[in-house]
Chain A
Amino acid sequence: MSMTDKQLLRIAGEIRRQLRQLRQCRHVQADSRLAAVETDLASIIKARRRLAICRSRGWDAAAGRVLRQVTGTIRDMPYRLSEVERAVRVCEMQPPALSDVYKDLKQADEEFDELIWQADENTLAVRTDPIELNHVFLGEFEIRLHVPNLGAMRYHNVYTIAALDPHPAASNEHVTHPHVSDERLCEGDAGAAIQAALSNGRVCDFFQIVQAVLTTYNPDSPFVSLDNWDGTPCYDCGYVAAGDDVHWCSCCEHDFCGECTSYCRRCDETTCLGCLAECRVCGEQVCTACMSVCPECGERLCLSCRDELQCPCLEEREDEDDTDEDQARQAERTPGSHAEVRDFDVLRQAARATATGVGVDPA
């Protein structure tokens, strides 16, 4: 629903009030820049007085020092003067007439579907049509002009861009448009025109310029390229992968790109590189589920190597067992030694059971 003339007039009055305040801020700024030039001039005058004394007394070395001291000030003067010139020039701009601001609001109301006034935030807003750039659907946006900030020379806080039906970049949910991040538009080529429109109270022009940026894609300088807009960001490197290039790691339960993914050589499950570890025995890459430790020595080894008692420490024990077996056979030949051999067998089984985790039959 269009706003009434009374509402538009009230908003126009508020905008004009802010622009008058802006003018006062500009006067303050011009004054501070003039003061900087004044300081520089004072130091130059002082240097000249010192130089005259040095010349009259023939102090050539001191004269050189005086000149060196003032060199930096002289070098900065052109810059300071250009700043003053700019500050004075913008002060010449008169705040727009109330009728002009009103007509601009009226125009914005006609050019866009709806001009929205959010009284609680003193925000004037228009909505764009759904925007699609390079076949990437981005949805509708609301351009919100925060009227109270108009008078504070803080252009970056004057307006925000809100995505009404956000389709953010897969890699960054704060980027709802290639040139919008955290509701801030990076104006690019439109910066000067936006600033000029705002400081002149040309509200409709402002909305149209911002809309022109929102409906244009600059592939050379986006927050997120449209080529990488959709898809799934790799949990490791952040690359936005799509389709078959997205892999799910069942160990850490995240998505990864093909470059950051491999597979477990034991269970063949797709696994990210971070969840793969090398078995110290067989040297294969295995996932965390297939990785274990030797209960004897604590060495990391895969389940296969553990089950097959491949840990070097067990092999050493096996060698010791063989030695014990030889000794047992030796003892077997000696009468009365059968009971000792049986006891030894039980002990050996117990040792193996400890290594493999299998229970020992006490019988």
Chain B
Amino acid sequence: MRILWINNDGGGFADYVDVAEGTSVEKFFSEKLPNRDSQDYLIRVNRQPVPRDYVLQDGDRVTMTPVKIEGAA
């Protein structure tokens, strides 16, 4: 199945990606952003907060936004 993944970390790209059936949000996060802590991100599915064991559905829109981003001067 395909979902829309919007990664607001780094380049902030949005793209459709294939995911296996039964993939939870937590698993998807660890696959896409390994070595990152999900606590440091606002994760929304279809613009709503979801529990970490939420199972992704075809056509879902997943957004991951860091809660801490370093600015500059």
Q: Check if B17 is an interface residue, CB within 8 A of chain A.
A: no
Which 6 A-B pairs rank lowest in CB-CB distance, beginning with the nearest?
A193-B12, A179-B71, A188-B72, A196-B12, A218-B70, A188-B71
CB distance from B28 to the nearest CB of A (A): 18
Binds B, one of A207-215, A259-267, A303-311: A207-215
Contact status A107-B47, CB under 8 Å: yes
Q: Are A205 and B8 in touch, CB under 8 angstroms?
A: yes
Which residues of chain A come closer than 8 Å to B72, judged between CB atoms?
179, 186-189, 218, 221
Q: How far is the CB of A132 from chain B (nearest CB, A)?
A: 14
- How many Å from the CB of B39 to the closest CB on chain A? 14
Contacts A205-B65, A208-B65, A209-B65 known; A216 to B12 CB distance under 8 Å?
no
Dominant SS at the B interface? Answer: loop
Size class of the contact patch on chain B: 20 to 34
Q: Identify which of residues 24-73 in chain B touch chain A, using a CB-to-CB cut-off of 8 Å.
A: 42, 44, 47, 63, 65-73
Extra contacts, 12 of them, besides A200-B14, A213-B69 (Cβ < 8 A), are A104-B47, A188-B70, A188-B71, A189-B70, A193-B8, A193-B69, A194-B12, A196-B14, A197-B12, A215-B67, A220-B70, A221-B72
A222 part of interface (Cβ distance < 8 Å)? yes
Q: For the complex, is A7 an interface residue (Cβ under 8 Å from B)?
A: no
Write the chain A residue with the least CB distance to B11. Answer: A192
CB-CB under 8 A from A222, the residues of chain B are: 73
Contact B71 A186 (CB under 8 A): yes
Q: How distant is B73 from chain A, measured CB to nearest CB, in Å? A: 5
Contact of B73 among A106, A186, A214 (CB under 8 A): A186
State the Cβ distance, A184 to closest chain B Cβ, in Å: 11
Q: How many chain A residues touch the partner (CB < 8 A)?
A: 35
Please tell me if the beta carbons of B63 and A190 are within 8 angstroms of each other in the complex. no
Cα distance A190–B67 in the bound complex, in angstroms = 11
A19 at the interface (CB under 8 A from B): no
The interface centre, meaning the residue of A103, A106, A195, A196 with most chain B CB atoms within 10 A of its CB, is A196
A104 to B47, CA, bound (A): 8
The smallest beta-carbon distance between B14 and chain A, in angstroms, is: 6
A185: Cβ under 8 A from any B Cβ: yes
Q: Indicate whether A212 sits within 8 Å of B68 (C-beta atoms), given known contacts A107-B47, A221-B73.
A: yes
With A107-B47, A193-B10, A196-B14 known as contacts, the answer to whether A209 contacts B73 (CB < 8 A) is: no
How long is the Cα–Cα vector from A190 to B71 in the complex, in angstroms? 7
On whether the beta carbons of A208 and B9 are closer than 8 Å, the reply is no
Residues in B with CB closer than 8 Å to A23 are: none
Residues B65 and A212 in contact, CB atoms below 8 Å apart: yes
B65 touches A178 (CB 8 A): no
Q: What is the minimal beta-carbon distance from A202 to any residue of chain B, in angstroms?
A: 7
Q: Kindly state the separation between the CA atoms of A209 and B12 in the bound complex, as whole angstroms.
A: 10
Say how far A103's CB is from chain B's closest CB, in angstroms: 6
Query: B71–A202 contact, CB under 8 A?
Result: no
Complex contacts, A204 vs chain B, CB 8 Å: 47
B3 interface residue (CB < 8 Å to A)? no
Does A235 make an interface contact (CB < 8 A)? no
Question: How far, in angstroms, from A205 to B44 measured CA to CA in the complex?
Answer: 10
Given contacts A104-B47, A196-B13, A204-B47, whether A209 and B8 have CB atoms under 8 Å apart is: yes
Q: Which of A196-249 contact B (CB under 8 A)?
A: 196-197, 200, 202, 204-205, 208-209, 212-216, 218, 220-223
